[in-house]
């Protein structure tokens, strides 16, 4: 794999995002994540998974520099694959704990939201969904996923504002479950995964899927209806101009 690394700690698989400095997601990373979760779901040696990133960045979200250059077919395929990845992760039958090892805006936050538990690094790091300020229409499945943890009213307000939160605020809002020093994040996540695997796996898994039944139904609408506005706005001149300006800023960093 080119964008991920997997290692094990006993019966726990640690799946690390490993693409460039900021773990920005492109089509290849989305595909490798989907393949990894599909394999880990049926691996009898793996009882739980910790999804982790790099120090400073869990994931900076979608790689807008690469995605900007995709043609209509490529961007359609990307959003379709990202939609499928979300549903695959939300329906993952084993404990899935996220070690938020740094900044996690937009798509990075979406990955974290798919997990059962989130441990986030204290300090300067930010997490949240800032698609609207970037110029991306938020698809309805992502709103439902955000609402599952934050409640509809708070998710609605935070999305409209494109709010990015510190770990302290994220814990208060229900976006993160706990926070700690960066050096302890992955260890805490492994500890939580280890606690989960002590339960009867069939009981735990079936209960998890029961609790997420309504969410999974909300994540499976007609694709064109859910993502059509996002794809349409992606090609709007004002969005392309906004993305161009953002890309120029990123290239200067």
Q: Which domains does the chain have, with CATH numbers?
A: 4-201 (3.90.226.10)
How far, in whole angstroms, is CA 78 from its chain's centroid?
15
pLDDT attached to residue 250: 73
Give the neighbor-by-neighbor strand order of the sheet with 12-17.
4-9, 12-17, 48-52, 96-100, 117-121, 178-180
Question: Is 184 within 8 Å of 151 (Cβ atoms)?
Answer: no
Q: Which two tokens stand for residue 80?
A: 């379709």
Q: Is the Cβ–Cβ distance between 87 and 118 less than 8 Å?
A: no
Instruction: Give the full edge-to-edge strand order of the sheet including 56-57.
Output: 56-57, 102-105, 127-128, 164-165
- Return d(Cα 92, Cα 87) in angstroms, integer: 8
Q: What sign does the CA torsion over 118, 124, 33, 129 have?
A: positive
Strands 96-100 and 56-57, bridge-based pairing: unpaired
CB hemisphere CA count around 21 (13 angstroms):
3
Beta pairing partners, 120: 100, 179
Strands 4-9, 12-17: parallel, antiparallel or unpaired by DSSP? antiparallel
Alpha helices (H) in 15-62, listed in sequence order: 27-42
- Listed residue (229, 210, 64) closest to 141, CA to CA: 229
Predicted local distance difference test score (pLDDT) of residue 53: 97
CB 159 within 8 A of CB 132: yes
CA atoms within 13 A on the CB side of 29: 25
Q: In 3D, which of 179, 131, 173 has the Cα closest to residue 148?
A: 173
| Separation CA 146–CA 143 (nearest Å) | 5
List Cβ neighbours of 163 (8 Å cut-off, separation of 6 or more): 128, 129, 130, 157
pLDDT per residue of the chain (253 residues) written in tens, 0 to 9: 899 999 998 999 999 999 999 999 999 999 999 999 999 999 999 999 999 999 999 999 999 999 999 999 999 999 999 999 999 999 999 999 999 999 999 999 999 999 999 999 999 999 999 999 988 999 999 999 999 999 999 999 999 999 999 999 999 999 999 999 999 999 999 999 999 999 999 999 999 999 999 999 999 878 999 999 999 999 999 888 888 888 887 776 6
pLDDT at site 142: 96
């Amino acid at each position: 794999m080119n964008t991920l690394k997997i290692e094990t700690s006993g019966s726990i698989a640690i799946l690390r995002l490993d693409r460039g400095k900021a773990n920005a997601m492109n089509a290849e990373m989305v595909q490798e994540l989907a393949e990894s979760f599909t394999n880990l779901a049926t691996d009898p040696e793996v009882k739980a998974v910790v999804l982790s990133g790099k120090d400073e960045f869990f994931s900076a979200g979608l790689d807008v520099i690469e995605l900007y250059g995709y043609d209509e077919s490529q961007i359609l395929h990307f959003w379709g694959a990202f939609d499928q990845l979300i549903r695959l992760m939300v329906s993952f039958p084993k404990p899935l704990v996220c070690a938020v090892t740094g900044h996690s805006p937009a798509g990075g936050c979406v990955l974290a939201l798919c997990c059962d538990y989130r441990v986030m690094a204290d300090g300067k790091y930010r997490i949240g969904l800032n698609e609207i300020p970037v110029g991306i229409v938020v698809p309805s499945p992502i709103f439902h996923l955000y609402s599952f943890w934050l409640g509809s009213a708070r998710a609605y307000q935070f999305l409209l504002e494109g709010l990015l939160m510190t770990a302290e605020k994220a814990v208060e809002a229900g976006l993160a479950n706990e926070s700690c020093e960066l050096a302890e994040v992955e260890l805490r996540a492994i500890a939580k995964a280890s606690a989960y695997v002590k339960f009867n796996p069939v009981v735990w898994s079936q209960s998890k899927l029961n609790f997420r039944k309504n969410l999974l139904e909300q994540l499976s609408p007609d694709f064109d209806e859910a993502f059509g506005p996002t794809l349409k706005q992606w090609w709007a001149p004002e969005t392309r101009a906004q993305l161009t300006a953002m890309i120029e800023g990123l290239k200067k960093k």
